[in-house]
Amino acid sequence: MSDKKLWAGRFAEPTDAFVEAFTASVEFDQRLAPYDIQGSIAHAGMLAKQGIISADERDSIVSGLLRILARIEAGEFPWSVALEDVHMNIESALTDDIGIAGKKLHTGRSRNDQVATDVRLWLRAELTDIRIKLRQLQHALLDLAEREAETILPGFTHLQTAQPITFGHHMMAWFEMLERDHDRLVDGAKRVNVMPLGAAALAGTSYPIDREFTAHELAFERPAENSLDAVSDRDFAIEFAAAASILMMHLSRMSEELILWSSAQFAFVTLSDSFCTGSSIMPQKKNPDVPELIRGKSGRVFGHLMALLTLMKSQPLAYNKDNQEDKEPLFDAVDNIKGSLKVFADMVPAISCNRDAMRAAALKGFATATDLADYLVRKGIAFRDAHEIVGKSVAHCVTKQCDLADLSLEELRDFSPQIEADVFDFLTLEGSVAARDHIGGTAPAQVRAAIARARARIS
């Protein structure tokens, strides 16, 4: 294949060898090849329809591009750094193959609108895949929530025991976080699905193009309104990286809880051996490497968001070579969120809950103290006074090293004569969770209703 530069007409001296490698993007942007070819086929179709090239030339371009695609897919395409990027590698190979018609493909377009189109086509496809993986993880969480709808564990604030909750409720909190991530990705996809082609280098083109036709061929919602904006805009990518960062932040929080819960000190859950690794020196170890790695990868995706924001900051209109730097962060963000979602979705069904350990932990730390205060309020005591009474009872238990439910009725009545024998119904864990029986509450019946609503929402 000829390595002749497609833009070298005005150049008297060859490119410096280091500069050639420094400015090339083909090593990473070859990943866009199927989308570059898809865009070129639509462009050639439009050029023929408008009489800018002949039908024969279009046919020859299309079959030549499909042959190139087959060679790329077979791993037989000779990518050349001298040809700089995916676009010029493919165009040059096309001309080598079909001759003069290949040289007509670039009529009425520029690499500037071409690359912006390629990245959008690529991201649109990846978004579909990411959304499928996100849904798989959500389904796994719903199944686990259903399985453990009645399981009680301590709920925390400040990582101190606060009130008893159900494990199903906790899983549904994770589900809701991911549901907002899904919404964000769907919303951002609207702004991805706009077509830059036709903007050419920056100002549009003097050929009688039909952008509506090309947009329709490529299933874009519409052509971009403004040619300068079309070649320069990367906020669709920044927005995606922001949504991806928030998603990774959520996965890092979920990971952190699994890491804590699987420690010997908590022992709330056991992760399957297939998602853990051992230590080369400490034979007893079973480390939660998968959630730890996901937690770590969140930092990497946040970094990509910063990289994209920074590369766009202060760029004058329209296209600048800076934009070539958008690809590696985007590619890496996509690869890492897809991998993290897949492994998380595979790991969740294999989480086993140690119900006894969770229950024992919920019985410690006065998790039902609020229930005692609420009980006193129902007996006519003002909430602030009830809070004070329960606080004193808790202090007494701390000295005695016992739980509220371990106190006798007489002992409890020392703190408030309004306390009667029915108090013990409210001091149990089951009574506490069952009492929170409203939309969004932790009662098992509410968790089941929330699961049913969620299934209807995402099915």
- How many amino acids of this chain bind ligand ARG (CB under 6 A)? 10
Q: Which tokens is 138 given?
A: 């959500």
Binders in 10-29 for ligand ARG, by CB under 6 A: 25, 29
Q: Dihedral of CA 239/29/90/64: which sign?
A: negative
Q: Closest distance between ligand ARG and the C-beta of residue 91, in Å? A: 12
Tell which positions 89-128 bind ligand ARG, by CB under 6 A: 111-112, 115
Binding segment toward ligand ARG, per CB under 6 A, in 120-128, 146-154, 181-189, 321-329: 321-329
Q: In this complex, which beta carbon is closest to ligand ARG, that of residue 32 or of residue 447?
A: 32
Rounded to a whole number of angstroms, the minimum distance from the CB of residue 240 to ligand ARG is 17
State which residue, 19 or 282, has the beta carbon closest to ligand ARG: 19
Catalytic site includes residue 279:
yes
User: Residues 54, 272, 274, 279: which is the catalytic one?
Assistant: 279
Query: For ligand ARG, which is the closer residue by CB, 295 or 327?
Result: 327
The CB-side HSE value for 336 (13 A sphere, CA atoms) comes to: 26
CA atoms within 13 A on the CB side of 193: 17
Q: What angle do CA 35, 134, 310 make, to 5 degrees?
A: 60
- Is there binding between residue 432 and ligand ARG (CB under 6 A)? no
Question: Which residues in the 72-91 window bind ligand ARG by CB under 6 A?
Answer: 85
Pick the closer one to ligand ARG by CB: 31 or 184. 31
Task: Choose which of 321, 410, 438, 456 interacts with ligand ARG (CB under 6 A).
Answer: 321
Dist. CA 290–CA 296, nearest whole Å: 10
Which one of 60, 89, 245, 324 is in contact with ligand ARG (CB under 6 A)? Answer: 324
Contacts to ligand ARG by CB under 6 A = 25, 29, 85, 111-112, 115, 319, 321, 323-324
Q: Would you name the residues annotated as active-site residues?
A: 158, 279
